Amino acid sequence: MADLKAAVQKFSQELADKLQTFINDVTVLEVRTFTTPHDQVKVLLDERPDIGEIATKGNVQLRAYTQIGFDGDATICLPTDENNEIDRSVWDIHQAIVAQAIGSRNAMLRTIGDAASSALGALQKSKE
């Protein structure tokens, strides 16, 4: 019980800090979609695969990439197949993931913003 007030303050402070991190980090949104051959999929079964490392080793291939700046500027790399046609099987899901990333970022900002706002109130009161 003695640590409860400290726990409330820590939780509230972390939410506030996280909101600040969001504000600093949301200027650019990046979405990467990779594919990997069936015989390489085992590398993903590790608890925490290092994407950079396995990409360097050729275990995965970057197939589509989207970068959206805060001002709306976008950089997009399209996946193509062996005929130099857009690979719809990857491109369609990549577009869906981009939409999801934008929606998720908005939802996270809203949730963390609301939480931080409430938590800051709690923090103030717990310090009174």
Contacts to another protein by CB under 8 A: 1-2, 4-5, 7-8, 10-12, 14-15, 18, 21-22, 25-26, 29-38, 41, 44-45, 47-49, 51, 60, 89-90, 92-93, 96-98, 100-102, 104-105, 107-108, 111-112, 114-115, 118-119, 121-122, 125-126, 128
Question: At its nearest, how many Å lie between another protein and the CB of residue 26?
Answer: 6
Backbone angles phi, psi at 110, to 5 degrees: -65, -50
Residues 6+ apart with CB under 8 A from 75: 65, 66, 67
- The number of CA neighbours under 13 Å toward the Cβ of 62 is 16
Three-state secondary structure call for residue 71: coil
Question: At its nearest, how many Å lie between another protein and the CB of residue 30?
Answer: 5
Backbone angles phi, psi at 33, to 5 degrees: -120, 120
* Residue 84 or 121 with smaller CB distance to another protein: 121
* Residue 84 or 102 with smaller CB distance to another protein: 102
Question: At its nearest, how many Å lie between another protein and the CB of residue 83?
Answer: 17
Q: How many residues does the chain have?
A: 128
* Residue 13 or 84 with smaller CB distance to another protein: 13
Rounded to an integer, what distance in angstroms lies between the CA atom of residue 14 and that of residue 41? Answer: 36
